Amino acid sequence: MVDVLEHVPGNPSGQHRWAQEARRRLDDARDGIASLLGVEPGGVIFTSGGTEADDLAVRGVLGAAGGRALCSEIEHHAVLDVVHATGGGTVAVDGTGRLDLDHLADELASDPGVSIVSVVLANNEVGTLQDLDAIADVVDQARPSHPNGLVLHTDAVAAAAWIDVAEVAARADLVTISGHKVGGPKGIGVLAVRHGVPIAPVLLGGGQERERRSGTPNVAGAVGLGVALAVTARDRVTVVGRVREQAERLAAGLTEAADHVRTTIPPRSVPGVANIVHLSCREVASEPLLFLLDEAGVAASAGSSCASGALEPSHVVEALGVPPDWAPGALRLSLGWSTTDDEIDHALAVIPAAIAQLHPHAEPAA
């Protein structure tokens, strides 16, 4: 990225030699990302991040095909808010966050005007992985009765660092990823589009990205995302194994420290990404807990990072049916490739003490 910023000043849409070098760097990044996502290079649309890519997926399909959108009730707000704003609906999930396939089938059968179904591949708050093949089966069965077409989009932002998206999301027509979730820069994302899926532009202007997303491309960001995604794929098996062990040790240690702390989803009850530990703390409010943890050097959140300042329980926790005496004490801990065992030890010392300080009937952990 530094090399691009210092030595490649051209706009890749231009014709001179500096522009041609910028185009070469952008095309190389596009080729590498396409290979890692299992799409053709022409299917890679660079965006400003996951939010814009999700917005383009929903609005782009609706703009090209008409109809309305469906999504799960635990989508990231980048999808959920767009679906609501465009008159779409939601599909229920069970207590582990898995999509209710019967509800999806009923919704598709009752409304042939649905043209896009969007389901987050890995929930960014609790980590649940969806069975995308089973969802694709339901969509395939409904497709003949939908005259405007019916496509499947998956937001893979929280999944891309931890699973092979090209393999797991092979049946999705549209896939969203974001740079910062795979160790790349903020401010760059991709909407990957399978051949033949119609996308109407949301941003109009210069007609970049094959007339699907106007604006001067972020060449350095695209290069950074391409490198980060390649390194992630190269190291995934090793990193996932180590991080999963750390996450399981963290979850076990915290739930053993007090009977009023539990994992929101029972361990190993459903497939999930390796790096997310989501806890519910009975009769403890998230806001003061997060303050104490921050003071002690532990970065945590109550829900999505985009809404970590919210005081109300997240829509994800509510959709999972977490009881009202547990829901206000939601605690989301995310590990990463750089997480150390010493950091896990620090968290295991700090978090139970902070919870005990706030819980009205708790004794500090021994």
Question: Where does 87-218 have alpha helices with state H?
Answer: 101-110, 132-142, 165-168, 208-211
In contact, 150 and 108? CB cutoff 8 Å: yes
Strand ranges (E), the chain: 44-47, 68-72, 89-91, 114-118, 151-155, 174-178, 189-193, 261-263, 276-281, 330-334
How far is the C-alpha of 76 from the C-alpha of 235, rounded, in Å?
27
**Euclidean distance between the first and the last CA atom of the chain, given in angstroms as a whole number:** 48
Distances (CA, A) of 204 to 60, 77, 126, 201: 12, 24, 36, 7
How far is the C-alpha of 215 from the C-alpha of 138, rounded, in Å?
36
How is residue 283 annotated by DSSP?
A: T
Closest Cα to residue 275, out of 224, 217, 343? 343
CB contact set of 51 (below 8 Å; sequence gap of 6+): 78, 189
How far is the C-alpha of 355 from the C-alpha of 366, rounded, in Å?
13
Catalytic residue among 306, 349, 358, 365: 306
Tokens representing 114? 């649905």
CA 239 to centroid of chain Cα atoms: 19
Tokens representing 205? 């202007």
Coil, strand or helix: which one is 72? Answer: strand
How is residue 362 annotated by DSSP?
A: P
Told to judge if 306 belongs to the known catalytic residues of this protein, a careful annotator would answer yes
In contact, 85 and 36? CB cutoff 8 Å: no
172, burial (CB in 10 Å: exposed 0-12, middle 13-18, buried 19+): buried
Q: Sign of torsion, CA 246 252 257 258?
A: positive
Active site residues: 306
